[in-house]
Amino acid sequence: MAEERRFFSASGVPIALRRRQHSASCRELAVRGPRLQLRSLSAATSAVWLAAYGLFALSENSMVLSAAIFITLIGLIIYLHFVKIDQESLLVIGSLGIQVTSSYASGKESTTFIEMGQVKDVVINEAIHMQKVIYYLCMLLQDPEDPQGVSEVVPLFQSTKPRLDCLIEVYKSCQEILEQSKTAPQSS
Amino acid sequence: MVLKVFFPSCCSSADSGILIGRWISEQNSAVILAVVHFPFIPVQVKQYLGEVQHMTKVSVSVLGSWSNSKQEKEESLSEFLEDLGTIFCHEPWIQISKEGDSKFWSCSTLQKHSKNPQEEEIILVYYDQRKVMLSHLHPPLETAGQRAEDASKLSAIFDTVARSQVLFMTDRYDEGPIKLTHWQSDGVEASIIVELLKQASVPACMLLTFLLSLVSGICRSRVLTFWPLSFLWSKLSTCEQLGHRLQHLQVISSNKKAQNQNQLMRKANIFVSLLIDVALGILLMSWLYRKNRIGHLADTLIPVADHVAEELQDLLQWLMGAPAGLKMNRALDQVLGRFFLYHIHLWISYIHLLSPFIEMILWYVGLSACLGLTVALCILSDIIALLTFHIYCFYVYGARLYCLKIYGLSSLWRLFRGKKWNVLRQRVDSCSYDLDQLFIGTLLFTILLFLLPTTALYYLVFTLLRLLVVIVQGLIHLLVDLIDSLPLYSLILRLCRSYRLAAGVKFRVLEQQDGKPLRLLMQINPLSYGGVVQTYRLPTYSCYPRDSWASLCKKLFLGELIYPWKHKGDKQN
């Protein structure tokens, strides 16, 4: 079953949280950010081309115009493929692990899977960023030598930056599954 | 607890039979390797599994039953399959059944000796057997002394499939008591070219080893290692590069098989790197020798050297006048300027002496570009060093003079204040000087102080020139280093067969149906390009800056000679 709710990100843009329960121990939580607006794309392109035309008027060199077109295309491709993240999702499979996926605007997906044995806990942390205090969800990874220690902190939903209300929903869903896998009898 | 069943996607359309694979009890997961079809004799199956276990050291056993009924569900077959559970006793006995062409299979377990007969959840994970078998997992951290139980669950699965290769050697066309279905059951693949190359590689390696031993014997002979020549070889970067490549060739041509993945990749990387290097070198050579470009190059070399010398002469004339409006000490200025001008004159006449032979020398030296692009670049760097040798000499003269002056000034400054450097205690102590000592000291101090701007200016100008040459040489060496250490084979593998280099796995949730087990698809998550370069970088004799910025500035200020690039084998001084 799937349900979608609207929230706001830390910088005020509207985001959507979609929860899907695939089975008793498998849940997928996806946070979708705003799509690329045509307005901002046209504004950026027009600005670059006006500047290039101004330079051309000054220097009478037509290479400036072709360079501007080239730069715009390459810049757009780089932006869509490496910078603009459309959706970040968390797939929690109890007893297997947690998978974090970021989907870019060009369709590229970058995935990391962390096994359940390495995950110590999922918590909400505070951070001081410039003049604000923001909340973020992070995964604590187990230190292999020290059972009480934390070897790494992996922050989640870094580019969509949901606010505390959205994070609480995600946190509750994750904890339900994590509790199941931690309290299930471990076979030695 | 949740039971995980790893099912190979190639067996999805197999006929009914029993499932064989490995049961990993610590993780409550079953890795299914193949399906054994009817008819079979249980004793023969057990014997076969015993043989496989002995050869691969993987505990392969019968895990359950698989029924693929294309028509209606056959009741008798399901009873028969349950009874099989008593023959091959395995806890838990897994039963997977597929009806018709449905995607959703039903999976159940039979636990005879379990204490809590609750319904445990089953997760069905599909995996591509061939890709998992060929892939190599790169763990993010390699901690020494990792125990077997700490090894990640995924590496256990990858390990199981990779080591069971002997199980996949039989296909359905073989005559035998056991009929298996796995990824190669439609016919074992092999490539004739690969087999031929393997056969040809052994004598080729032996020949190469013999040739290399000859070459290294010649290099180590007494003729080439006595003092002036050995000093020359150590200064020329071409010889270092050639020695490095010789080492690489020795690694490739050794007869021992690679023990593990890292060694195999290293050998492959060296081989591809050498091949590309030589190919680029031959390309460069063919470009140089076409249309007599070497002749043009030789013709322009002398005028360029002349031009550089003329520029230097102009520079010295400028320094001897009033450079940048500063007023120099006329006498010292003239002495230094004339000294350096005479030096340039000697250099010019030396170059002109060599000029008829330049074309021939260059022609033969250009031939060595066929040994590789890196060798050609090193030769270029050496030629630059030789052509700018006079700049190096001027820098040394200027630096020594300046250094002497600075030391003299600092010690006389201490005398001015009534102090002395105590060599024994390595510190500054107070000292009472005689009147005549003080008088001479003050006089000398004044002279040195007022001559300082002249010397300092000459030092500054020649140091800047020397640094320019050093930067150019450094860039060339950086390029050579890059070509040497780039793991091209690994990068091409990552591009074409990305499943071979795995950083991990990723799961995709397939369509679900209520009441049926959770279906996941396990795919290989390939290593990023940066990770590939970092893991498989070839070690080089890299030159890197010896001094930090602070100590470099200090040395420049004091006038000590700087050798900015340190090679790995150099002694620390």
Could you tell me if B507 lies within 8 Å of chain A, comparing CB atoms? yes
Q: What is the pLDDT of residue B117?
A: 57
Q: Is B144 on the interface with A (CB under 8 A)?
A: no
What are the residue ranges spanned by the domains of chain B? Answer: 3-181, 192-286
Residue A140 C-alpha from the chain's centroid: 17
Give per-10-residue mean pLDDT for chain B (573 aa).
87 84 86 84 85 86 82 64 73 81 80 64 88 83 45 78 80 72 75 87 86 85 73 80 86 78 88 92 88 81 85 87 79 87 88 84 84 90 86 89 91 86 85 87 90 88 90 90 91 92 90 85 91 88 71 84 63 43
Q: What does chain A look like in DSSP terms, one character per residue?
A: -EEEEEEEBTTS-EEEEEEEEEETTEEEEEEE-PPPPHHHHHHHHHHHHHHHHHHHHHH--THHHHHHHHHHHHHHHHIIIII-EEEEEEEEETTTEEEEEEEETTS-EEEEEEEGGGEEEEEEEEEEETTEEEEEEEEEEEPSS-TT-EEEEEE-STTT-B-HHHHHHHHHHHHHHHHHHHHSPPP-
- For the record, the structure tokens of B177 come out as 């008591």
Could you state, in order of their start, the residue ranges of all structural domains in chain A? 2-34+84-183, 38-82
Nearest to B483 by CA among B367, B373, B366: B373
Of A1 and A181, which is predicted with more confidence?
Answer: A181
In chain B, which residues have their Cβ closer than 8 Å to the Cβ of A95?
1-2, 4, 28, 123
Nearest to B323 by CA among B450, B456, B447: B456
Q: Are A27 and A94 in contact (CB under 8 A)?
A: no
Cβ contact A96–B1 (<8 Å): no
SS3 B235: helix
What does the alpha-carbon distance between residue A186 and residue B28 come to, in Å, rounded to a whole number?
9
- Chain A CB within 8 Å of residue B327 CB: no
Residues A40-92: tens digit of each pLDDT = 999 999 999 999 999 999 988 888 899 999 999 999 999 999 999 999 999 99
Residue of A22, A112, A117 lying closest to B518 (CB–CB): A22
> Are B509 and A25 a contacting pair at CB < 8 A?
no
CB pairs under 8 A between A and B: 65
Question: Looking at chain B, which residue has its C-alpha nearest residue A180?
Answer: B1
Q: Are B377 and B473 in contact (CB under 8 A)?
A: no
| Torsion angle defined by CA atoms of residues A155, A157, A161 and A165, in that order, rounded to the nearest 10 degrees | -100
Q: Which of A21, A22, A23 to mutate to test the interface with B (most CBs of B within 10 A)?
A: A23
Query: How far is CA B22 from each of CA B19, B31, B164, B185, rounded to the nearest angstrom?
Result: 10, 5, 10, 19
Give Cα separations from B507 to A98, A141, A170, B48, B268 (angstroms). 10, 20, 20, 33, 31
How does pLDDT run across B57-98, given as a tens digit for each residue?
A: 888 888 888 888 775 556 666 677 777 777 777 778 888 888
Model confidence pLDDT, tens digit, residues B305-335: 888 888 888 988 888 887 777 788 888 888 8
- Please answer yes or no on whether A187 and B509 come within 8 Å at the CB atom: no
pLDDT at A137 over 90: yes
- Return d(Cα B247, Cα B235) in angstroms, integer: 19
Q: Residue B1: which of A96, A118, A184 has the nearest Cβ?
A: A184
Cα B80 to Cα B569: distance, rounded to the nearest angstrom: 73
The predicted pLDDT at position A188 comes to: 37
Do A93 and B143 lie within an 8 Å CB cutoff? no
The verdict on B55 touching A (C-beta cutoff 8 Å) is no
C-alpha distance from A71 to closest chain B C-alpha (Å): 25
Cβ-defined contact of B28 to A22 (cutoff 8 Å): no
pTM over 0.95: no
pLDDT of residue A77: 94
Does domain A2-34+84-183 bear CATH number 2.30.29?
yes
Shortest Cα distance, chain A CAs vs residue B49, angstroms: 26
